[in-house]
């Protein structure tokens, strides 16, 4: 089994090096490396996509293949509001697609530290084959068929991490982060289920697990939010980070989706107004979220609400607007 990692940034490179360390034949391709992408594709059995979410469509439109694909990108396309699996389906048409996601930083993978990931694919044989091929003593991989839920969890956690960074930047203290994570989980699950993900997926590695570590200083999205709280400029904050911050563009996408579906999304709405519109100051960020979130007066859900959520998720959500 031969792997080709296309778009080998820090995370893609870490995954590629891990595969090599496991004795798997692996080729890495970078846009500026001068290597021939056609030869990497032709000499690989499985392609791993390591390009950023906003570059995924133009990148995949530059070649044709029906080989199996594993995607590493965590985001939603801002221009067309599509998830990565939808972009792959419309450009490559591969019938074997998987998303590999979960709480993991490139530095930990490179250091050989243990990580736990989720691999989602609609193709049962493919996901089980990849689970066997990629698992090891340091890589614990669980599988699911909820591609939508895993993709949305990975995208939304980047958005929420920007908010965590803003809170850190304005100095709310450590206690608030626990509350922040719990409110983010409420919004992630509600939005995620309406868009097609399963409720339970968001409590797993690709949702809650990834959210927790992304709301820390090791995350570029978190650092972007903290810097933004100080300078109030997207451009200056991105320049300071010096690399891709997926949550910035994904915030635009999820806000557009939430508006179109009239969703109650206090965090996404206020984040967008703070970061992209500039009409809410970072110092007023938390106050405004809590004002909008006051409609959710009770913690948890009643038995009737749980039943409605499972049977009629879209109707259930509209009842909560």
Reading the chain (321 residues) residue by residue, the pLDDT tens digits are 999 999 878 999 999 999 999 999 999 998 776 678 999 999 999 999 999 999 999 999 988 899 999 999 999 999 999 999 999 999 997 789 999 999 999 999 999 999 999 999 999 999 999 999 999 999 999 999 999 999 999 999 999 999 999 999 999 998 999 999 999 999 999 999 999 999 999 999 999 999 999 999 999 999 999 999 999 999 999 999 998 899 999 999 999 999 999 999 999 999 999 999 999 999 999 999 999 988 776 665 555 655 666 676 666 554 444
CATH H-level, domain 2-145: superfamily:
NAD(P)-binding Rossmann-like Domain (3.40.50.720)
User: Is there a contact between 87 and 49 (Cβ–Cβ < 8 Å)?
Assistant: no
Q: Where are the domains of the chain?
A: 2-145, 149-318
149-318 shares the fold of 2-145: no
Q: Would you state the pLDDT for residue 320?
A: 44
Q: Would you state the pLDDT for residue 30?
A: 86
Q: Would you state the pLDDT for residue 297?
A: 62
Q: Would you state the pLDDT for residue 321?
A: 46
User: How far is Cα 274 from Cα 283, in angstroms, rounded to an integer?
Assistant: 10
User: Is there a contact between 42 and 69 (Cβ–Cβ < 8 Å)?
Assistant: no
Q: 107, 124, 157, 295: which one is catalytic?
A: 157
Left, alpha or beta for 242 (phi > 0: left; psi -120 to 50: alpha)? left
To the query of whether residue 157 is one of the catalytic residues in this protein, the response is yes
pTM above 0.85, yes or no: yes
Quickly name the fold that domain 149-318 has.
1.10.1040
Q: Would you state the pLDDT for residue 95?
A: 82
Q: Would you state the pLDDT for residue 36?
A: 86
């Amino acid at each position: 089994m031969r792997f080709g990692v296309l778009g080998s940034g820090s995370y893609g490179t870490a995954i590629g090096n891990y595969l090599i360390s496991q004795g798997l034949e692996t080729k890495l391709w970078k846009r500026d490396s001068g290597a021939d992408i056609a030869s990497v594709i032709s000499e690989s059995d499985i392609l791993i996509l390591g390009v950023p979410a906003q570059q995924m469509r133009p990148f995949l439109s530059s070649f044709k293949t029906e080989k199996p694909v594993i995607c590493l990108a965590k985001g939603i396309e801002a221009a067309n509001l599509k998830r990565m699996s939808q972009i792959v389906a419309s450009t490559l048409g591969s019938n074997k697609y998987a998303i590999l996601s979960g709480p993991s930083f490139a530095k930990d993978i490179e250091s050989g530290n243990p990580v736990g990931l989720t691999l989602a694919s609609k193709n049962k044989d493919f996901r089980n084959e990849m689970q066997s091929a990629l698992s090891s003593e340091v890589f614990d991989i669980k599988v699911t068929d909820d591609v939508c839920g895993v993709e949305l969890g990975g995208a939304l956690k980047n958005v929420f991490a920007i908010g965590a960074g803003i809170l850190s930047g304005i100095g709310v203290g450590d206690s608030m982060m626990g509350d922040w994570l719990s409110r983010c989980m409420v919004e992630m699950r509600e939005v995620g289920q309406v868009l097609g993900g399963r409720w339970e997926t968001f409590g797993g590695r690709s949702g809650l697990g990834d959210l927790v570590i992304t709301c820390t200083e090791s995350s570029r999205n978190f650092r972007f939010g903290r810097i933004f709280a100080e300078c109030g400029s997207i451009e200056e904050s991105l320049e300071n980070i010096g690399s891709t911050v997926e949550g910035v563009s994904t915030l635009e996408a999820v806000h557009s989706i939430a508006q179109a579906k009239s969703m109650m999304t206090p965090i996404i709405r206020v984040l967008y107004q703070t970061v992209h519109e500039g009409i809410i100051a970072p110092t007023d960020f938390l106050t405004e979220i809590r004002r909008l979130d006051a409609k959710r007066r009770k913690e948890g859900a009643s038995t009737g609400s749980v039943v409605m959520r499972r049977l009629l998720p879209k109707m259930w959500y509209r009842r909560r607007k």
